Amino acid sequence: MFQFPKFVFDCLILSVCSAAGQLFIYYTIATFGPVVFVIIMTIRQVNNLMFYYRNVCVVQIDLKVVHVPNCLTMLYV
């Protein structure tokens, strides 16, 4: 850890953001209920998916290459 001090800082920031995100999840469920939370998360995932594929299509058109997601290129040995 002393060799890579930025790693410790990055881990600290990741932990704080994760804890804050968990608090927002608990607050949303306590205030609005689990059904509203599921709807919010579903909309968020659809938006992320649409944004991802929109960017992939732009890259495919500009570079004229076929996009292979990283998860398909991993080899499990």
pLDDT digits (tens, 9 = 90+) for 2-61: 788 899 899 999 999 999 999 999 999 999 999 999 999 998 888 888 877 766 655 455
CA angle 53, 59, 64 (to 5 degrees): 125
pLDDT digits (tens, 9 = 90+) for 2-19: 788 899 899 999 999 999
Same domain, 46 and 70: yes
Same domain, 22 and 39: no
Same domain, 59 and 69: yes
Structural domain containing residue 58: 34-77
pTM beyond 0.75: the answer is no
| Largest pairwise CA distance in the chain | 48
Same domain, 27 and 52: no
Number of Cα atoms under 13 Å in the Cβ half of residue 55? 6
